[in-house]
Amino acid sequence: MKTAFRWYGEGSDSVSLSDIRQIPGRPVIVGVLDGKAAGEVWTEQEIGAYRRHIEDSGLRLEVIESVNIHEDIKLGAPARDQYIENFIKTIQNLGAQGIRVVCYNFMPAIDFVRTDLAWELEDGSKALYYDQKALEGMTPDQLVDATFQKSGGFTLPGWEPERLYKLKETMERYQGLTPDDLRKNYRYFLEAVIPACEQCDVRLAVHPDDPGWEIFGLPRLAHSMEDYQRIMDMVDSPYNGITLCTGSLGSNPGNNVPEMIRYFCKRDRVPFAHIRNIRFLGERTFAESGHLSAEGSLDICEILRAFYESGFDGYIRPDHGRTIWNEKCRPGYGLYDRALGLMYIMGIWEALEKGASRR
C-alpha cells in the first residue's frame, strides 16, 4: 500500500503541508483544486502550479479527490456531452501532471450527509453523526443550514456553497428520474471517459454513497456489492475502479466490507481506499469513531488483512477523524485524529508484513 493524506489547499485547510510532512512515512497528498465548480476544466497550468507547490514542501501529489461530476451528466441533460468533454480534458491534464488516480462520486445533487457535525462522544471528542430520524424531520434546506452553522467556517467536501445554493432547484430536476435512468446515464458517461483514462493512465475510482442507502428520495447507485458489480460491468477495465471507503460501505450493516475488498481487489478494481471506523448506535444511526477497532463497529484489522492478503498496492488514506485536542479544523478533516488513524493503519500493515515473513 502507499499511504496518503487529504489536503485542501493553502488558505482552505487548517492543516499545513509542513504538518503533513512530519507524519511518519511521509504520505502522498490527495489534493483538490478548491474553488472549481463541477464541469469546469482544470487547466494543466493550474494543476502544475498546485503540484509544484506541494513538491516544494517535500511532498508528492499523485491522487485527486474530487473532480465533481456535473449534474447534467447524471441527469442525461442535453449539455452533458460538453461536460463530458470538459471532464476528459481535466483527466488528460491531470495525467500529464503525474496524477494516477482520481476519486469521484455519482451521487445525485448531494454528496455525503450527516445530521450532526459535532456529536460529542463520551471522551469529549467531537465526531460526525448520522440519524435517519433526524434527517426525516428536516428539509434539504434545513440540513444545509445546520451543516453551514456547524462547519466552523470551512466548506465541507461535496458541500461547496455554489452547489448548495441551488440544491432545491437541482433536487427538483431529479423528480421522476429512476435508478435505471441514472444507471443509463452513468454508463453513457463511463463509456465516453474510460477510453481516455486508459490512454492517459489515470484510474477513476468511484466513492460509495454515504450513508449507504437512498436519502430524500434520490436514486443512488453505489452502496452494495451488487451495485458495484453493475458499475464495474458497465465498462470492463481496471481504469473503471472503486474508492473503497470502509466507513461509507460499513454504514450499511448489510455490507460485508472485507469480502467486498477481497472480491474487487482480486479483479484489480481498487486503486484507492479510505479507512474510517463508525459505531452503530441504532437503526440507521451511527457516529464516526476513532479508527481503533475497539472504538467502533468495524474490525479495521480484518479490513486491512483483506487488503494485505489481496496484494493491495494502491493508495490508502485515513478518512474522517474526530475533532480532538481542541483543534480548530474542518469537521472530519483535522490533523490529529487522522494522523493517529494513519499510524494505526501503518502499524497493522507492518505487523501483517512481518508476521507473514516469519511464517
Residue positions annotated with a catalytic role: 207, 245, 274, 319-320, 333
Closest CB to ligand CS2 among residues 94, 266: 94
Q: Does 285 engage in binding with ligand CS2 (CB under 6 A)?
A: no
- Which residue from 65, 25, 75, 1 is spatially nearest to 265, judged by alpha carbons? 1
Q: What is the enclosing helix (H) or strand (E) of 349? A: helix 336-358
Cell, residue 242 = 472503486
Q: Does 269 engage in binding with ligand CS2 (CB under 6 A)?
A: no
Closest CB to Mn ion among residues 97, 289: 289
Show the beta-strand stretches assigned E in the chain. 2-6, 28-31, 61-65, 101-104, 116-120, 126-131, 203-206, 240-245, 272-275, 277-282, 285-289, 315-318
User: What is the phi/psi pair of residue 199, to 5°?
Assistant: -65, -40
Tell me how far apart the alpha carbons of residues 75 and 315 are, in angstroms, rounded to a whole number: 31
Closest CB to Mn ion among residues 88, 273: 273
The binder of ligand CS2 chosen from 158, 179, 219, 238 (CB under 6 A): 158
Closest CB to ligand CS2 among residues 112, 119: 112
Q: Does 163 engage in binding with ligand CS2 (CB under 6 A)?
A: no
The binder of Mn ion chosen from 47, 232, 245, 345 (CB under 5 A): 245
- Max Cα-Cα span within the chain: 60
Which DSSP letter does residue 121 get? P
- 313-332: contacts with ligand CS2 (CB under 6 A): 319
Q: Does 157 engage in binding with ligand CS2 (CB under 6 A)?
A: yes
Strand pairing class (61-65; 101-104): parallel
Q: Does 160 engage in binding with ligand CS2 (CB under 6 A)?
A: no
Number of residues engaging Mn ion in binding (CB under 5 A): 3
- 61-80: contacts with ligand CS2 (CB under 6 A): 65-66
Cell, residue 351 = 505487523
- Residue 122 DSSP SS3: coil
- 5-64: contacts with ligand CS2 (CB under 6 A): none
Q: Does 154 engage in binding with ligand CS2 (CB under 6 A)?
A: no
Torsion, Cα of 295, 297, 300, 301 (10° steps): 90
The binder of ligand CS2 chosen from 54, 63, 73, 103 (CB under 6 A): 103
Q: Does 87 engage in binding with ligand CS2 (CB under 6 A)?
A: no
Give the footprint of ligand CS2 on this chain (CB under 6 A): 65-66, 103-105, 111-112, 157-158, 207, 210, 245, 248, 274, 319
Give the footprint of Mn ion on this chain (CB under 5 A): 245, 274, 319
